[in-house]
Structure 1
Amino acid sequence: MLSYITIGANDVEASGRFYTAVLTPLGYEKTESPEGIAFTAPAVPGRDGGSATVYVKQPHDGKPATVGNGSMTAFRAGTHELVRSVHAAGLRAGGSDEGAPGFRDEYSAHFYVGYLRDPVGNKLAIFCADPAQGSRDG
């Protein structure tokens, strides 16, 4: 089970605005410290390992944060509307569009996803795969 992920930021304030816009609507709680910002997912009853945390901070080695080619972090949303609103909020908060929310032919019929890049260029997916939300087939 994933425990945490650290995302490098050259401008913690700018990246913090982006991740606040994307993660707080998904239920993550934000805390700030001198080292950076932490976004903690709500606890899931019955799961070991505690809540997953997303850390946004400058790289420990002091070098600039760079993009991981081929890396992507995906966050689950409960509804298609939440995917759309989080994607739009990420764009307003300094992110860039990497694929508008919608269904993709190459994925399952219920997989609804939007893609973003954060201010550094890291790729994110915001998705909903709930069959009750509908499918690309109707």
Structure 2
Amino acid sequence: MFSHIFVGVTDFDKALAFYNPLMNVLGVKPRFCDKARPWAGWQSDPDPRPLFLIGKPYNQLPHECGNGQMVAFSADTRAIVDEAYAVALAHGGSSEGAPDLRPEYHEHYYGAYFRDPDGNKLCVVCHRPY
């Protein structure tokens, strides 16, 4: 369904220091990093898409967070959700909801919500019963 998702950032180095360890926990491999532009991307496996990208907005205007927008990453296990949340907070993220079951979505929905250092809302979720 998706080709790529691009999230704007203000401080590229700070954002990279946040996203590199988060993507590592999620097992998402880096595809490129161009600090001169600046932007970076991680790719899905085994297919090269969708891509997740961060960078300075193309129009060169300051980054602004959208209200009601969120990117959710899938995790294979609840332990990965827990680890991703801890890594996000340890690297400058802020909590929007600790890892927990959220049966209002469905019986096995186990998710954590947080914001990156620029305030972009993110989620890591496991849909499996373990």
Q: TM-score, normalised by structure 2?
A: 0.92
Deviates more, 1:22-31 or 1:2-11: 22-31
Q: Secondary structure at the match of 2:18?
A: helix
1:32 matched to 2:30? The reply is: no
Matching of residues 1-138 of structure 1 within 5 Å: 1-30=1-30, 31-33=32-34, 34-35=36-37, 36-44=39-47, 50-131=48-129, 133=130
> Identity across aligned pairs (percent)?
35
Check conservation: 1:38, 1:56, Cα contact below 8 A.
yes
CA radius of gyration, larger in: 1
Query: SS at 2:19's partner residue?
Result: helix
Tell me the amino acid that sits aligned with residue 24 of structure 2.
T
State the distance in 2 between where 1:104 and 1:27 align: 24
Other structure's SS at 1:116 match: strand
What is the aligned residue count? 127
1:116 is displaced (CA, Å) by 0.8
Q: Which runs of 5+ in 2 are unaligned?
A: none
Q: Name the CA distance, whole Å, in 1 between partners of 2:13 and 2:71.
A: 20
Counterpart code for 1:122:
N
Which letter maps to 2:33? E
Verify the 8 A CA contact 2:72 2:123 in the aligned structure 1: yes
TM superposition shift of 1:113: 0.2
Is contact 2:103–2:109 with CA below 8 Å preserved after alignment?
A: no
Residue segments in structure 1 that go unaligned for 5+ positions in a row: 45-49, 134-138
SS in 2 for 1:5: strand
**How large is the Cα RMSD of the aligned pairs?**
1.2
Stretches of 4+ aligned residues off by more than 3 angstroms: none
2:73 and 2:124 in contact (8 A); partners too: yes
Which whole-Å CA distance do the structure 2 matches of 1:127 and 1:16 have between them?
21
